[in-house]
Structure 1
């Protein structure tokens, strides 16, 4: 780094002004290079190991990130058998590369874990690469508690006694949560055994830099099928067969996450992914996020948001940086990135301090104790000599830090003059045929006299010079050791090696100091990541005209002019629709209408608006009041797979069964054409029975949105104030061409107009006409055999005419006799 960095860091300690933010526009190319250098592996998925334990109805878990050396724990939480919704939510949120559990746990739990890790392979190997079972005898509670108590964190005082160490762990861990302690101890014991293979290093155990808590009690439960059906995420593989299996080959396609991800930092993108995987019911958290989005959308905040984004794009994962720095020969650039990150966090702190009354997140950042960060920043700039480090291609220490190191450097600095004078003295003592020489220093060998070849084709005997010891030849230069060189070796020794080793010791001390401050650094980076995420969401909300949803604890959904956030980007004119559910409105809506009239888009639109409100985002509508939900269930998309060994209809039944079993009055259930995978009457009966079950709950009925082409269902469901029928408007021309208006209204239809839709998309007229005949015969209960008989009668006439011609023509007698024998066929035709 240049001298500018040093001056910048010193000013950051004294306090920064908002005007100084304008001076932060560093070379964009160097910033991008730093990003690529710091972790070209950032695009790769994190290698995360998850350990889960379920005992007596309580789920405990612990995860370890190999990349950041961070451990996250989930305190004991109730998870009901047989669905294990909390286990599924945890798995989708963490997205582990490996799962560790114990033998001897309840069979339903182990089956659920196998189904998550190896879908369709219920009897999969217990030692497969992604699923590992450990013996329960070796991971009992006492053994796991002892392993947890041996855990040492960088934030713990180094001189803490055993009692102080135990109190420290109790302050960061709930040691009374037995299931969680078992999971954490099992995870640590597994890491002890597998760490050399995981890290490819000789380290004895896995380093643990951070300890954080996972929260699932406030989560809005959504299964993987719902995420996929709503296109919250959409991964696209690389088209090249050489790259499609690479960990970084996939990219985000058209999805809600891809729409919102305008984050300026990698940590912001990662935080947004966690936010999208963890929709919350906490109204305080949601309103806090909405306050930040609202502030960023105001025109008066444009300059502030611009300065914030300038700071956020320099923020990196501190935990990962410290992990890199702890390795030998860490690059100078990594230290520059760490310092730049801390510096811009200090700037961000000052910016948010001026607007701390606008949002809770600004208050958190403004009240954050920055003393530790300022100390780390000051130490880095005071100790590391960045300009000299760039020249030396290694980390060097500034003068004035260590007196012994300064003495060594001073002696080394005057070494050039000493070597020049020594070379002059050595040349006087050399034979006359040697016209030039020089004195050099080679690490580990010492001081040498370098003499260029004085004649061509020198022999070994020619290199024997009196008073000198021949050492080696390099590039036609002979190197000798003289008495003066030995004297310098004894007095000065391996000076450069000593300096490098001395500087390495100081760098290691600096790394340990930074590791001690990793907790506040990590917390501040997480706050910056959340701010980056919310600034990105505000940008999308402003561009697309979203509104702030009002959150209520009542059972209600009131959306005015709602839109699908992705569909409206793909067409020119999107028709918005209203949604009213709960309160004075019915809780169950049954949609019928023509094919391709927008029923599925409308269902997904309502589900997405509800989902977006529960991640703290503005929603695509002119106004929205959303009652807090605990589940969002869907039966929209059937994800078939050979590995699952399940038919499409069985998958549909599983999704429907899950919504029936787990839904509550605060749930949203979206059902799109359930029952089409089997016979019409069977599908109609199943759908009717499910809807009747919801209606039988009375006021405990969830929000239910159903689209179907079973038009008879309007006569099979009981009249209830909880039930209403709706359809999407359309217009039929004189030629019976259908034009969909995509506007929702009350009522129902008796036809799906599938033939008109087929003709509208270019189906052949013959196919349409034949389908119309079949449909007419089916409605009138008349057989279609008549048409077939008419074709047969026409064939009969042709055969009879042909036979008569043959019999009346002049034919050979033999042929006539043959024909007469076969006249039975002709008579039958007659």
Structure 2
């Protein structure tokens, strides 16, 4: 059809002087969403990951398919222990929907998969285990399956030999387990027809690229730590229209730092959060960019770039539709608007007249349009790798701009990294979430490095800030290992290789798990896996069992680590077991440092300063905390009395007033029974009444 186009401005206009605000965009979502984006949101299915894993002779081969970008990721053959800790780490990181493996497996792998399938309380939901015949994982058949694949990113002009050379530059064919895993994954995708279930059988599963999946330099953090530190926190979505997902991000570290303007930036930020690293080159490169955008002279440029990144849409989904010949007009509009020239199209009386005169050419025009669209689609698909690279760079820029925005608004500072420091040093650190909720927040410092004070025992009254302090240390360390500025005046991070926590979370309670069993499981992870470069945070261990047993286990765990000497992890343990100190259950030495939360008694009141200092608490002040919680005074007084009797080893006797009141109740009950007796009733047996009613009641009265 005919139309006339003009270019009113030529190029996009730059922001007018003074138009930029004094701060980065707020946490509010970007407005002005177009119809194409709304349609994309409605049609895009949730991303699913299908993983294929093989373990043989101590080596692990892994490959997985991500439906969000139709890309296959692979990890070169890597050594893994018989307990398959590396495989568990990969599972925790990517959360696959299905795990594909060979029906002919080693006993260790079989046991691991059986345990994985039986985890009823696993969050997110445990994956489906799929066994394929071992012949599907043959080395030669897997190579042939890889080379025979129909990949849109490979130009059709390539010969067979050129295609083999091209794929050899991407896929490590010398890693035999990885090649077999890739072959088994392709077999599974073809059998399940992932994403093309309703298409003809001549339509293959779209594969838009191969990417290497690397776990080197990563810091080990388990799902419990992510939960209790509130790095991620899912909440039920309040909107009835969000029934598909049903969850939204609550108050969490990810929630306050996620200021990304495009979905792929959000996805990359989540990936950085799930893959913290101690690669100093990568971390410093991220911090350099953040610091550059924090300079006042670069604020306008940062705002403009962040605003333009909102035009970045789901390019992999569009390429997938092209591969399946499902491209829509809105998809071409999205590609056209990476950078819009603001062309104006209109129709006039003359164009309508030409439509009426030349209307018979409509079919020919449509044929030509279809041919041109097909040729253009082939050209775009041939350059899919370039578009994907541009998307990766734009996503990275979006994340760094988001982190710079948060650092500016919240007053974060740049951390330093020291490979020689085996621990962390934090000057006046703040809890990034608590400081947003409290009117005033008291900063605290922390230092763990060298051979002194590797185990810090923190005592203090209830509600004095011990747990917040532990979480604060963990969150600041985590943020530094992501490459973000941190809420502290100064922070120096050493070679931290893992973060372990034993802090109660609401999730463990809601699942109905035993509190003490959760304690043991989490501490067991730290005991079995922590190294001298690990950071271990323990809060109120042994709280869910008998006091003596809990105290004994806590002392045993700490003595176990103390016996390691210089190989002891860096441990922060908060406890109300004052007997741990009073009974001297820990050996004296430079490895143990005692800290407490500073307080001051003002008459009957207890003033909390929320400040960490050296020393030992002399009491838990539970009665004061109970009074603040609103318990009646007589109950608090009785609690103090019982506590004093226990400490002095004296017997606990019931309260006289309560005893008299109970006696009067028993007497009145017995009198009421007597008055109800009918002495003229011939069936009444007074002997039975005396033996069954009067005598038992008399023991309670006397």
TM-score exceeds 0.5 = yes
Q: Map residues 704-783 of structure 1 onto 2, 5 A cutoff.
A: 704-714=571-581, 715-735=584-604, 737-783=605-651
Counterpart mapping for 1:149-228 below 5 A = 149-195=147-193, 199-202=197-200, 203-228=202-227
Further displaced range: 207-216 or 637-646: 637-646
Shift of 1:156: 2.6
Which structure's residues are more often helix, by fraction?
1
Residues 693-745 of structure 1: per-residue CA shift (max 9 Å, x gap): 1111111111111011111212111112111010001122212x222110000
Aligned to 1:265: 262
Structure 2 residue corresponding to 1:686, chosen from 553, 560, 563? 553
Matched, 1:98 2:108: no
> Helix, strand or coil for the counterpart of 2:169?
helix
For 1:789 and 1:310, locate their aligned partners in 2 and report how far apart those are by CA, in whole Å: 73
For 2:395, the equivalent position in structure 1 comes to 529
Greater Cα radius of gyration, structure 1 or 2: 1
Q: Is the 8 A contact 1:233 1:252 kept in 2?
A: yes
What is residue 58 of structure 1 aligned with on the other side?
59
Equivalent-residue separation in structure 2 for 1:17 and 1:417 (angstroms): 39
Match of 1:647 in 2: 514
Quote how far apart the aligned CAs of 1:236 are: 1.1
Deviation per CA, 1:762-813: give whole Å up to 9, x if none: 111122122122212211212123647993699499979x99xx9xxxxx9x
Q: After TM superposition, give the deviation of residue 237 of structure 1 in Å.
A: 1.4
| Residue 617 (structure 1) aligns with | 484
Distance 2:148 2:299 in 1: 50
CA 1:778/1:542 → structure 2, altered by over 3 Å: closer, same or farther? Answer: same
Q: 1:195-594 alignment to 2 at 5 Å?
A: 195=193, 199-202=197-200, 203-239=202-238, 245-247=243-245, 249-328=246-325, 330-341=327-338, 343=339, 387=345, 416-417=356-357, 495-554=361-420, 555-583=422-450, 585-594=452-461
CA contact (8 A) 1:547 1:618 kept: yes
CA 1:415–1:625 in structure 2 vs 1: closer, same or farther (change >3 Å)?
Answer: closer
CA offsets 1:677-697 (integer angstroms, 9 cap, x no match): 221111111111111111111
Rounded to whole Å, the distance in 2 between the matches of 1:94 and 1:314 is: 27
CA RMSD of aligned residues (A): 3.9
Contact 2:54 2:181 in 1 (8 A): yes
| SS at structure 2 position matched to 1:763 | coil
- Deviation of 1:198 after TM superposition, in Å, equals 5.0
Query: Aligned pair in 2 of structure 1 residues 18, 552: CA closer, same or farther (>3 Å)?
Result: farther
Change (3 A) 1:57 1:648: farther
Q: 1:298 to 1:60 in 2, by over 3 A?
A: same
Distance 1:573 1:642 in 2: 30
- The CA deviation at 1:323 is 2.1
Confirm or deny: 8 A CA contact 1:196 1:204 kept in the other structure. Answer: no
Helix, strand or coil at the partner of 2:482: coil
Within 5 Å, give how 1:598-637 maps onto structure 2. Answer: 598-637=465-504
| Distance in 2, Cα, partners of 1:121 & 1:762 | 36
Q: Could you say which residue in structure 1 is the equivalent of 2:24?
A: none
Cα gap change, 1:525 to 1:33, in 2 (>3 Å):
same
For the structure 1 residues 798 and 517, does the alpha-carbon distance in structure 2 shift closer, same or farther, using more than 3 Å as the test? closer
Counterpart-to-counterpart distance in 1, 2:162 and 2:648: 87
Aligned-residue offset at 1:189: 0.4
Per-residue deviation, 1:634:
0.8
Mark the CA change 1:207 to 1:238 in structure 2 (over 3 Å): closer, same or farther.
same
Distance in 1, matches of 2:112 and 2:690, equals: 72
Instruction: Supply the distance in 1 between the matched residues of 2:479 and 2:149 (Cα, whole angstroms).
Output: 39
Q: Deviations over 1:197-233 (max 9, x none)?
A: 7543225321111111111122111010100011111
Unaligned ranges ≥5, structure 1: 345-376, 392-409, 419-439, 442-494, 807-811, 813-817
CA distance in 2 between partners of 1:760 and 1:245 (Å): 41
**In structure 1, the residue corresponding to 2:337 is in which secondary structure?**
helix
User: In structure 2, what is the Cα distance between the partners aligned to 1:63 and 1:827?
Assistant: 76
Q: Which residue of 1 aligns with 2:677?
A: none
Alpha-carbon separation, structure 2, partners of 1:623 and 1:59: 41
Q: 1:644 to 1:51 in 2, by over 3 A?
A: farther
Distance 1:767 1:23, change over 3 A: closer
Give the gaps of 5 or more residues in structure 2.
21-29, 675-679, 681-685
User: Which residue in 1 is equivalent to 2:23?
Assistant: none
Determine the C-alpha separation between the residues in 2 that align with 1:746 and 1:543: 33
Alpha-carbon contact 2:46-2:68 (below 8 Å) kept: no
- In structure 2, do the counterparts of structure 1 residues 779 and 243 end up closer, same or farther at CA, with 3 Å as the change threshold? farther
> In 2 relative to 1, CA 596–107 (structure 1 residues): closer, same or farther, beyond 3 Å?
farther
Which runs of structure 2 are paired with 1:116-127 in the superposition (5 Å)? 119-120=119-120
TM-score using structure 2 length = 0.86
Residue 674 of structure 1: how far off its partner (Å): 1.0
- SS of corresponding position for 2:187: helix
Out of 517, 524, 527, which is 1:660 matched to?
527
Q: For each residue in 1:548-589, what CA deviation from the matched residue of structure 2 results, as whole angstroms up to 9, or x when unmatched? A: 000111213110001100000000110000101113642111
Residue 538 (structure 2) aligned to one of 657, 667, 671: 671
Superposed CA deviations along residues 371-415 of structure 1, whole A, max 9, x for unmatched, are xxxxxx9xxx9xxx9948x99xxxxxxxxxxxxxxxxxx9x9979
Distance (Å, rounded) in 1 between the aligned partners of 2:220 and 2:665: 71
SS in 2 for 1:716: coil
Superimposed CA distance per residue, residues 11-47 of structure 1 (whole angstroms, 9 cap, x where no aligned partner): 7xxxx997899999xxx976533322333345x5312
Residue 68 of structure 1 corresponds to which residue in structure 2? 69
CA deviations over 1:307-345 (Å, ceiling 9, x no partner):
21132111223222222344556332321211222x38x
1:473 corresponds to: none
Q: 2:40 pairs with 38, 42, 59, which one?
A: 38
C-alpha deviation, 1:7, in angstroms: 8.2
Residue 509 of structure 1: CA displacement?
Answer: 1.1
Aligned residues of 1:22 and 1:307 also touching (Cα < 8 A): no
Question: How far apart are residue 194 of structure 1 and its match?
Answer: 1.1
Please give the secondary structure, in 1, of the residue aligned with 2:448. strand
Q: Which residue of 1 aligns with 2:27?
A: none
DSSP 3-state at the match of 1:333: helix
Query: What's the offset of the Cα at 1:643?
Result: 11
> In the superposition, relative to structure 1, how do residues 71 and 793 fare at CA in structure 2: closer, same or farther (>3 Å)?
closer
Q: Alpha carbons of 1:755 and 1:2: their partners in 2 closer, same or farther (altered >3 Å)?
A: farther
1:468-489 Cα offsets, whole Å, 9 max, x none, are xxxxxxxxxxxxxxxxxxxxxx
Distance change in 2, residues 1:271/1:696 (3 Å): same
Tell me the SS of whatever aligns to 1:784: coil
Q: Retained in 1: the 8 A contact 2:99–2:127?
A: no
Which deviates further from its counterpart, 326-335 or 517-526?
326-335
Q: Deviations over 1:121-167 (max 9, x none)?
A: 89xx9xx9833222223323332222122234333342333332222
Q: Distance in 2 between matches of 1:4 and 1:133?
A: 60
Per the alignment, do residues 69 and 3 of structure 1 end up closer, same or farther by CA in structure 2, a change over 3 Å counting? farther
